[in-house]
Structure formats: C-alpha cells, structure tokens
Amino acid sequence: MTPVRKLVLLGTGLIGGSFALALKRARLVQHVVGVGRNPANLARALDLSVIDSASHDAADAVKDAEMVLLATPVGQMGRLMAGIAPVLAPDCIVTDGGSTKQDVAALYRTHLAGHLAHCVPGHPIAGSELSGAAAAQYGLFEGRRVVLTPLPETVADAVARTRELWQACGAEVFEMSAAEHDGIFAAVSHVPHLLSFAYMNALLDKREVAACLDFAATGFRDFTRIAGSHPDMWRDIALANRDAVAADLRANVTALQALIALVESEDAAALTAYIDRASKARTEWGDRSRKA
Amino acid sequence: MTPVRKLVLLGTGLIGGSFALALKRARLVQHVVGVGRNPANLARALDLSVIDSASHDAADAVKDAEMVLLATPVGQMGRLMAGIAPVLAPDCIVTDGGSTKQDVAALYRTHLAGHLAHCVPGHPIAGSELSGAAAAQYGLFEGRRVVLTPLPETVADAVARTRELWQACGAEVFEMSAAEHDGIFAAVSHVPHLLSFAYMNALLDKREVAACLDFAATGFRDFTRIAGSHPDMWRDIALANRDAVAADLRANVTALQALIALVESEDAAALTAYIDRASKARTEWGDRSRKA
C-alpha cells in the first residue's frame, strides 16, 4: 500500500486527528495539514504531532493534496467544499466523517459537481463526548466500523483507496446507500441522543430537580451519558436527518403512550410482556456484541 | 457496635447476599439464614458462605431472629410479611430493600400492624443487571447510598440500629418520607428504565431492526443498558409507583413532542437551546458526581 503524500484535515478535532495519527503509525501518510478556525487547537495539534503543518485557509491547504478529509460538523461542510472546489487536483479524493449521509451527498452534488468521481462520503462510528485535537488517539478506530456511502458517480478506485486507509486504522469498512445509512443511524444513534436530551429537559422542569439529581445513580449515569454530547453537532444531525429522526421519535411517543396505558390500567401481564420483550432483545444484543 | 445474633434474609439474591457478606466482613453478624424459593440458589449461597443455613420456610426461619431483611421483589413482600407476623420476636427489626416505599409502607401496615415500631423501610441504591446469590459481593454498598423511610410508628432505636449496620457496609444513609423517595426515584430511576424499554420496543417494531442492531454502538449500549433489567422487578416497580411514574412519563411525551416540533419546523436556534440546556445540566452533574 502506498502512503498518502499529502492529507488535508478540514477540521482538526477528534476524528480528523485520530485518522491522521493512525495513518502516521501505519506509515501511510507523509504530510498532514490541519485546517481549522481555532488557533489554540491547531497549535496543540502541531505540538502533539497530530499534524505536520497548520493553515487557516482551506483553499490554500488543499492544493496538490492527495486526500482531503472533511471532519467538521456537517453544518460547516458546504462552505468548505465550495472553498476548495476551484483548486482541487483532479484525482484528489474528498471524503468526510459526517454522521448523516443523505445531506452530505447533496452537499457534494451542489459544491463539487465536477469532482464527484473522487468523492467518497463516509462515517466512522467512533463517538465520544471528547472533542478537539488534544483528544485524538492512535487507536480510536481500532475494531470500530466505518460506513462508506459512495455516490453513483464515485469511481471504484477512490472507494478502494479510502477503504484500505480506514482498514489500516484498524476499522472494519462497510458500504451501503446513504438512505439506508441514515435510517439505521436515526434508529440506533440519533434518536437515543434526542430521547436523552428530552429526558434531561423533562427532569429540569421538575420542582424537585435538585434532590432528583442528588440521588441519581448508575442507571441515570449511563442512560444520560449521551445527553452530554455537543449541542451544535447534534442540532446539525437532527436537522440533516429530520425525516427519519421525526418518524422514529413519533414511534417512541407511541410506544410510551402504550406503556402509560399499561401502567395506569395496572395490566400486570401485558406490562410484563412489554418489558420482557425489550429486556430479552437488549440482553441478546449484549451477548452478541460481547462475542463479536 | 454489637453484632447481629441472627439475621434472616427473606430473598437470598444480590442485595440480601451482599448485605450479609458486608456484615460478615465487618464481624457484625453471627448467623445468617437464607430463605428462598430456588434450592439451587440457596445451595450456591451456602457454598459461597453468603449464608450459614438455608430454609424454605420463612416463618420457621425468623423465630428468635434479631433482624429480618426482606430482599425479594416488592410483589412478594406482602405474603412474606403475613407469614412471619405471628412468630416475630417483639423487638426483631424488620427492614427491606424495596425500590418503592409508599407501597411497602402500606404492606407493613396491612401485614405487620402490631409490629410497626420495629419496621424500618429502606432502599439501598445499588442497582445491577446481575441477580442471584452468586452475584453477591462484599463491597456492593461501599460508597453507595441507602435511603430509610421510617414509619411514624418506627422507634428511633430501630432506625439507628438499621442505619449503623448499613453504614458498616460502607453506605451513606439518608432519611426521607416514602412519598419524597418515590417522587425522586420515579424521576431518576424508574422512568429512565421505562423509557429504555419503550425505546427498545419501538426499535423492535422497525422492519430494519436486524441491520439497526448490527450497527448499534457505544451510545446505544449505554442508553439501553438498563433495558436489560429484570422484567418482574420493573413491572412491580412501575405498578407500585404508578402515579409518579405515569406523571413523569407524560412529561417525557410532552418534552418529545416539543422536540419533534423543533425538528420538523427546522428551528435551528430553538433546537440548539433545547439540546444545550440538557447537555449543560448533564455535564455539570457528571462533574459534580465525579468529585463526590
């Protein structure tokens, strides 16, 4: 496998930084340029050798790059794509780490219409509440999954190159359509985050909230861990994937209303069946994912 | 502090077994009798020295006991109380580990009306998906909280004795009313469990459930950990605390409907504020509880 001559990170945070570190460890990148809006974060990335040079100018940075990774919140990607479009080398691979894929595909079409053959939308599944270059780590993608959602125009070579680099980071790589991706991640990622935010807000509206938080224990801790996630990122995700997200949130409202009816009617047998179905499925998932 | 001469566990599982082990380690109990319906579990408890003798007959076991801990699901406690009422020594302390306290108080009144001075309802806050005597551990209550909700009739000595024994297990002991307890734990324990069950059931209703579960990652894992909890126990809790639980579930439906409206109207500013409020509160709670 040949190393990437020049990799440009548009967004030098946890995802971009960890991708760069993993490729450096595998000796699969020669020079990494970090682009970002926060000078302190870029300085830290240089200090930690996450990147080899820093720039505030995306268009300048991507000249003669072999690969560009968009690793900002999705809300910033359109502007960045527009900025680099005029200066990209013809065969430069442009990929991204966005958590939603239909909207990112639309951004590629709008801003990089002449370059679609080398655009490889992607989503590394490696969440963390941490952010910034200082949180980047060599092993972040070790054993994790990366989903690629190539456009109909994307050439096989660009997909294969992106795939082999993610594999070199230790990730298992999957391909599916953007719509399939967004449906799946609405269900198992976006909606749990939004349910956790909604639960916290309902709790904060209670008169006894201080005593409640004082006695909150391990169940609360795990259930709400994702409620501590980054507001701008999750606003972008919720809006970008709003159809799938809203449909799944409505299904949760329906499931809750059924549950409230069982509790209020004191239907013990039906309530046991309701809980048992959820508990069995979760336990089986836990057993399977421990084995995997 | 004088050791308990004879402690009887009505229910020899995680909570009862761990209480016995912690008191044994502190040399604060001389003889532990385990009562239960599952012979294999009792045999295991004997093997592991969690208990010193076993019995299938609660009434026989509690004769001349100094303390009885009811450590079964709440749904079984009424029958057990009725069974032991005729044979309890006059000053035997009867306490319990039930997760709901208003309904348990009502059970004490119904079944142990002549013994209320020595009844000390309690709730050790030490959840686990594990159960059975084999899961019992010396340190389960180390640094955990125990809430006591004494009845108006309970004498101070019985409360003090129960408190000192829990403290000897490493727990911090609080007192509050049963109603206050149930309101707090509906909000931070019962409702998160029920939301997690409802979420799992909504997911299981999806056509793409297999692909969804296949890509579920760490956010899903933590958010749904409590969905793997014991169905009978959580049915009992939901029914026992149904008024507080139903009110909080309704508040969650309202919070979700507000969130759906923000997503569908694409109100980015209001959505950011909604998520930011939840995220800030959760992050502050995490910082506080790490320090504590």
Q: What is the rounded distance in angstroms from the CA atom of residue A121 to the CA atom of residue A105?
A: 7
Contact yes or no for A222 and B226 at CB 8 A: yes
Q: What is the rounded distance in angstroms from the CA atom of residue A101 to the CA atom of residue A181?
A: 7
pLDDT score, position B280 = 97
Statement: residue A138 has pLDDT above 90: yes
Q: Tokens at residue A62, please?
A: 């991507």
pLDDT score, position A202 = 98
The number of angstroms, rounded, from the C-alpha of A240 to the middle of its chain's C-alpha atoms is 13
**A180-291 under CATH 1.10.3660.10, yes or no:** yes
pLDDT score, position A216 = 94
Kindly identify which residue of chain B lies nearest to residue A237, measuring between CA atoms.
B263
**φ/ψ of residue A278, rounded to 5:** -65, -45
Taking contacts as CB-CB distances below 8 angstroms, the residues of chain A near B274 are 197, 201
**φ/ψ of residue B31, rounded to 5:** -145, 130
Statement: residue B292 has pLDDT above 60: no
User: Could you say which of B145, B200, B250 has the minimum Cβ distance to residue A260?
Assistant: B250
Task: Check CB contact of B175 with chain A, cutoff 8 Å.
Answer: no
Contact yes or no for B189 and A242 at CB 8 A: no
Left, alpha or beta for A49 (phi > 0: left; psi -120 to 50: alpha)? left
Distances (CA, A) of A113 to A73, A119, A180, B171: 21, 10, 23, 64
Q: What is the rounded distance in angstroms from the CA atom of residue A204 to the CA atom of residue B281?
A: 8
Of the candidates B22, B74, B32, the residue with the CA atom closest to the CA atom of residue B53: B32
pLDDT level of residue B249 (50, 70, 90 thresholds): very high
What is the count of residue pairs from A and B with beta carbons less than 8 Å apart? 290
How much is the average pLDDT of A186-212?
A: 97
Q: Percent of chain B beyond pLDDT 90?
A: 91
pLDDT score, position B127 = 66
Return the bridge partners of A7, or none: A32, A67
Statement: residue B128 has pLDDT above 70: no
Q: Give the CA-trace dihedral at B146, B151, B155, B156, to 10 degrees.
A: 40
Among A208-217, B55-64, B86-95, B121-130, which stretch is predicted with the lowest mean pLDDT? B121-130
Statement: residue B129 has pLDDT above 80: no
User: Could you say which of B180, B201, B218 has the minimum Cβ distance to residue A127?
Assistant: B218
Strands A93-96 and B29-35: unpaired
Q: Percent of chain A beyond pLDDT 90?
A: 91
- The interface residues of chain A toward chain B in range 5-44, judged by CB-CB distance below 8 A, are none
Instruction: Tell me the pLDDT tens digit for each residue of B94-111.
Output: 999 999 999 999 999 999
User: Could you say which of B216, B218, B238 has the minimum Cβ distance to residue A263?
Assistant: B238
User: What ranges do the domains of chain A cover?
Assistant: 4-176, 180-291
| CB contact at 8 A, B274 and A197 | yes
Contact yes or no for B260 and A253 at CB 8 A: yes
Statement: residue B291 has pLDDT above 80: no
pLDDT level of residue A142 (50, 70, 90 thresholds): very high
Task: Check CB contact of A254 with chain B, cutoff 8 Å.
Answer: yes
What number does CATH give the domain A4-176?
3.40.50.720
Q: Do domains B4-176 and B180-291 have the same CATH topology?
A: no
Kindly identify which residue of chain A lies nearest to residue B143, measuring between CA atoms.
A217
Residue tagged 């506080």 (tokens): B288
| CB contact at 8 A, B166 and B141 | yes
User: Could you say which of A125, A193, A279 has the minimum Cβ distance to residue B227?
Assistant: A279
Q: What is the rounded distance in angstroms from the CA atom of residue B68 to the CA atom of residue B6?
A: 9
- The interface residues of chain A toward chain B in range 90-109, judged by CB-CB distance below 8 A, are none
pLDDT score, position A94 = 98
Instruction: Tell me the pLDDT tens digit for each residue of A274-289.
Output: 999 999 999 999 999 8
**φ/ψ of residue A101, rounded to 5:** -120, -25
pLDDT score, position B73 = 85
Number of Cβ atoms within 10 Å of the Cβ of B121: 27
Instruction: Tell me the pLDDT tens digit for each residue of B71-85.
Output: 998 889 999 999 999
| Residues 6 or more apart in contact with residue B256 via CB below 8 angstroms | A195, A198, A249, A252, A253, A256
User: Could you say which of B192, B202, B215 has the minimum Cβ distance to residue A252?
Assistant: B202
Among A107-116, A132-141, B176-185, which stretch is predicted with the lowest mean pLDDT? A132-141
| CB contact at 8 A, A140 and A50 | no
**φ/ψ of residue B96, rounded to 5:** -150, 170
Instruction: Tell me the pLDDT tens digit for each residue of A51-67.
Output: 999 999 999 999 999 99
If you average pLDDT over every residue of chain B, what do you get?
95
| CB contact at 8 A, B74 and B46 | no
Residue tagged 């079984």 (tokens): B76
Contact yes or no for A208 and B278 at CB 8 A: no
Kindly identify which residue of chain B lies nearest to residue A280, measuring between CA atoms.
B228
What residue ranges in A75-115 does DSSP mark as E strands?
93-96
Task: Check CB contact of B141 with chain A, cutoff 8 Å.
Answer: no
Reduced to 3 states (helix: H, G, I; strand: E, B; else coil), residue A281 is helix
Q: What is the rounded distance in angstroms from the CA atom of residue A223 to the CA atom of residue B219?
A: 9
pLDDT level of residue A41 (50, 70, 90 thresholds): very high
ipTM (interface predicted TM): 0.85
Q: What is the rounded distance in angstroms from the CA atom of residue B288 to the CA atom of residue B283?
A: 9
Contact yes or no for B259 and A197 at CB 8 A: yes
CA of A195, closest CA in chain B: separation in Å?
A: 7
Instruction: Tell me the pLDDT tens digit for each residue of B164-211.
Output: 999 999 999 999 999 999 999 999 999 999 999 999 999 999 999 999
Q: What is the rounded distance in angstroms from the CA atom of residue A224 to the CA atom of residue A245?
A: 19
Contact yes or no for B275 and A189 at CB 8 A: no
pLDDT score, position B116 = 98
Q: What is the rounded distance in angstroms from the CA atom of residue B156 to the CA atom of residue B193?
A: 34
pLDDT score, position B165 = 98
pLDDT score, position A45 = 96
How much is the average pLDDT of A103-124?
A: 98
Q: Tokens at residue A220, please?
A: 């609360």
Residue type, B8: V
pLDDT level of residue A80 (50, 70, 90 thresholds): very high
Residue type, B157: D
| CB contact at 8 A, B61 and B89 | no
Q: What is the rounded distance in angstroms from the CA atom of residue B120 to the CA atom of residue B149?
A: 7
Q: What is the rounded distance in angstroms from the CA atom of residue A69 to the CA atom of residue A62?
A: 10
Angle subtended at Cα A141 by Cα A140 and Cα A144, rounded to the nearest 5 degrees:
125
b/e map B232-266, b = 16+ CB within 10 Å: ebbbbbbbbbbebbbebbebbbebbeebbebbeee
Number of Cβ atoms within 10 Å of the Cβ of B133: 30
pLDDT score, position A7 = 98
Taking contacts as CB-CB distances below 8 angstroms, the residues of chain A near B187 are 203, 206, 208, 212
pLDDT score, position A10 = 98
User: Could you say which of A184, A238, A283 has the minimum Cβ distance to residue B263?
Assistant: A238
Q: What is the rounded distance in angstroms from the CA atom of residue A67 to the CA atom of residue A92?
A: 5
The number of angstroms, rounded, from the C-alpha of A18 to the middle of its chain's C-alpha atoms is 13
pLDDT higher for B20 or A218? B20
